[in-house]
Structure 1
């Protein structure tokens, strides 16, 4: 079996999560990359969110898919691939005995494999990923999310074309990966109208691929600025430029918080203790009704969705005003236009 260079510090990281998971994983990834070269196998689009020293490629590749096939641990190609790393960290496949056995054979004692989710569902996900490495959560989590030159040029052009210079801009994301987590869209509209009245501000509505697949990208928003089809670099650039972000429990909301933007996250059926975004300019609004948080099965079959439908726009607007006043009073206007190392 091929063995890694004794002096090599190159490590391999396998991470299968969606965007929200990945943002929660970024502090742990930063810790791994502090003094080592890292190859990350995840969703290839995550390359837009990590520094150049972390080489990001797709998890969907031959060497990974073969780990689910008998005899793969005897293949010379896989021996060479995994043998080139001094350490391999995986948050993938821990529940598949065959997968783990083949990976252990290929990596020998260089493998550290972890469950994708903590056993205790009340542990914040970001804390769990850090704990896998024996790292305690620091007082401030500020992963370095780079500014891509192309995205920076794009957002300057978009701001100019849209007449947003000098305006207070609110970014809204009314969607998420699960429609059951979404605050009613008409209430998002009420907040946008209030923002225009109270702050002479402008709103930008962001829709992702899920909303576009459901045909919700343009409906009900004809008279507002709607942006869709953005790659993660442009999405990050757009959010960085806004004065306030408001969204559901979603990957984009986690991204806004990690970027250091003033972020208001609306939670209904999911647990803020586990999933609250970790940025220090973030506030979570939830009704805390008796049946929330709930399991995914209950969420999918809930007949009333009171945790979100009874959350009024007036309540959210009042909380936003208090949050903005507190943010300004504390002087917490961090530089949200670049890396926050």
Structure 2
């Protein structure tokens, strides 16, 4: 019987993806173990499909709630998993130690529970904080690689794009105008300009609409001279498959932006009131753009700020960055008309 690991991360999409390097480091340190994950169902299903974990225990099914309530309320499947677990690792708070006590009581050989928000963490970047917490058990080597989506999911996304009228030779630019907070978002008018300029370049903007982005996306659609494609209401893994088809991605400090970076999509990340040194996705394929330095030193000031100077990124700067990414992609495609359009803006 294979031994197991249990990883716990109750955070949102971006928070969990920032833990991906740490998850991989743990798996490398325990190569023969099966890896279980307690996390949100959407991000958990994504990581399971990509082969990053072997078993998902969704938060929505009460997996963590049962552990927090006591050993007697833990479901049988999770009990069996912990009975063969050599490690239970949780990136969260456990001030009174009750979670750790339950994990030990159910058979975990070693338990580490610590939040990456802990003031005692020495590193600045959130990904490094996740790694810092597990440093005592993992090696120094880090392997950066994109998420690998199943071929069937990718084919389904290709079919969806074809049904929407997208031709294979067209250059898609995914644009996500939302985030987890409206205070991290550029105004809809800014995106209207971005969409128009991308269309003028011959690219096909594709607006990604999450559950909280409806108002923002509708405002953009109403103001665009030529309405862009909009994809919304899909499961996260389907969104990931769509994003894997695009030439470029533009978005805010959001979980979807981290997903684009994890898929190795050339990414332009717009940062305003949040610190990119702490929160930005990493990689040579990621470019961070910001407006003026943010002067709001507390989040309540960010919430009441009306100027949003930090999010006033010059559209010309963004388009120049888009051009660089699209030119690089156009060199490897047979889209002669698209290359000709780009050459007019050289």
Q: TM (normalized to structure 1)?
A: 0.82
Segments of structure 1 that go 5 or more residues without pairing to the other structure are 332-341
Give RMSD over aligned pairs. Answer: 2.9
Match for residue 18 of structure 1 among 12, 23, 35? 12
- Partner of residue 307, structure 2: 304
Measure, in 2, the Cα distance between the counterparts of 1:258 and 1:195: 24
SS in 2 for 1:163: coil
So what's the TM-score if we normalise by structure 2? 0.81
In the alignment, the residues of structure 2 paired with residue 30 and residue 229 of structure 1 have an alpha-carbon distance, to the nearest angstrom, of 30
Q: Secondary structure at the match of 1:210?
A: coil
- Segments of 5+ residues of structure 2 without an aligned counterpart are 333-346
CA distance in structure 1 between the partners assigned to 2:324 and 2:80 by the alignment: 57
Change (3 A) 1:224 1:279: same
State the number of aligned residues: 316
Match of 1:43 in 2: 40
Partner of 1:181: 184
Deviations 1:208-267 (A, max 9, x none): 01113xx44434315221110111121111111111100011000000011011100000
Structure 1 pair 139–43 and aligned structure 2 pair: CA distance change class (3 A): closer
Cα separation, partners in 2 of 1:328 and 1:216, compared to 1, 3 Å: closer
- Equivalent pair of 2:243/2:260 in contact (CA under 8 Å): yes
Superposition map of 1:1-341 within 5 A? 8-34=2-28, 35=31, 36-46=33-43, 47-50=45-48, 51-52=50-51, 54-62=54-62, 64-69=64-69, 72-73=70-71, 82-107=82-107, 109-119=109-119, 123-134=124-135, 135=138, 141-147=144-150, 149=152, 151-161=153-163, 162-198=165-201, 200-212=202-214, 215-222=215-222, 223-289=227-293, 291=295, 294-308=297-311, 310-322=312-324
Instruction: Answer 1 or 2: higher relative contact order, Cα 8 Å, separation at least 6.
Output: 1
Preserved contact between residue 140 and residue 280 of structure 1 (Cα < 8 Å): no
Q: Which moved more, 1:85-94 or 1:227-236?
A: 85-94
Give the match for residue 337 of structure 1.
none
